[in-house]
Amino acid sequence: MEFGLNQFKEFITEYAQRLEELKSTLNELDNRIGDGDHGTNMARGFQVANQQLQAKNPTDIGTACNTVAMALLGNVGGASGPLYGTIFMKLASVFKEKLSVDDEMLLNGFLFAKNGIIERGKAQYGDKTMLDVWETATSFLQSNVGTNRYRDLMTVVQEAVLETRDRVAKKGRAAYLGPRSAGTCDPGSVSSGLFFEVFVRALDGEGAIIRWETLVL
């Protein structure tokens, strides 16, 4: 599989659009165990990212990732701003000057991104943060090499998102709720699940649309 510059741009455009659609779902989850702004934050940030991508029209994926990273860092705020900003900065460093990236490079990018989340957020797997999804996604990709791995990725990611529901948060704002944080899916995990949903579709043009609003609420 190859992932080209245009696919990347489509990916961002669609992710921004899906975030807008799921804004109130993400806000609602964050309301239950946080402060109710995760949907607003993400939708705002990726709308700007998408606009800047159109405006600057970068000619390689690395630069495109950087444009997105800068837009997120400057427009998301909260915990998710630095974290998603870091994700795209790390992707930028791996995809530097590339017009298109292959499976291996993609995996490498995601691994770098995941490690970026850990460095910045100091969370561990199981802490009920977006890292839970990134850990699951990257380790699946790492250990499953084969034609269907991107479609199957979605099954795995979806499960990872839903698995955050019963966990007690150990990092982020939800952690202050203690045991009361159990019972609600982590909003950042949902936005990261959505990230992979849209990515898979951008990659092979077909991946399913997941009805997160019914799954996670």
Ligand X SMILES: Nc1ncnc2c1ncn2[C@@H]1O[C@H](COP(=O)(O)OP(=O)(O)O)[C@@H](O)[C@H]1O
Cα–Cα dist 160/102, whole Å: 25
Number of residues binding to other proteins, judged by CB under 8 A:
37
AA letter at 157: V
- The beta-carbon contacts of 44-48 under 8 Å, at least 24 apart in sequence, are 44/75, 44/76, 45/71, 45/72, 45/75, 45/76, 45/80, 45/81, 45/84, 46/12, 46/15, 46/16, 46/19, 46/72, 47/16, 47/20, 48/74, 48/75
Indicate the residue among 120 and 149 with the shorter CB distance to other proteins: 120
Cα–Cα dist 35/174, whole Å: 9
| Position among 44, 90, 128, 167 found at the interface with other proteins (CB under 8 A) | 44
Residue 175 as a binder of other proteins (CB under 8 A): the answer is yes
Name the segment binding other proteins (CB under 8 A); options: 39-47, 61-69, 103-111, 148-156.
39-47
Which residues are paired to 2 by β-bridges? 102
Residue 38 as a binder of Mg ion (CB under 5 A): the answer is yes
Chain residues 64-103 in contact with Mg ion, contact rule CB under 5 A: 78
Residue 130 as a binder of ligand X (CB under 6 A): the answer is yes
Indicate the residue among 35 and 159 with the shorter CB distance to ligand X: 35
Show the tokens assigned to 103.
């499976």
Name the segment binding ligand X (CB under 6 A); options: 35-43, 49-57, 88-96, 139-147.
35-43
Residue 186 as a binder of other proteins (CB under 8 A): the answer is no
Q: How far out from the chain centre does Cα 4 lie? A: 19
Indicate the residue among 98 and 167 with the shorter CB distance to ligand X: 167
**Which string of DSSP letters, residue by residue, matches 152-170?**
HHHHHHHHHHHHTTTSPP-
| Position among 9, 38, 44, 201 found at the interface with ligand X (CB under 6 A) | 38
Interacting residues toward Mg ion by CB under 5 A: 30, 34-35, 37-38, 78
Interacting residues toward other proteins by CB under 8 A: 24, 27-28, 31-37, 39-41, 44, 73-83, 120-122, 170-173, 175-178, 180
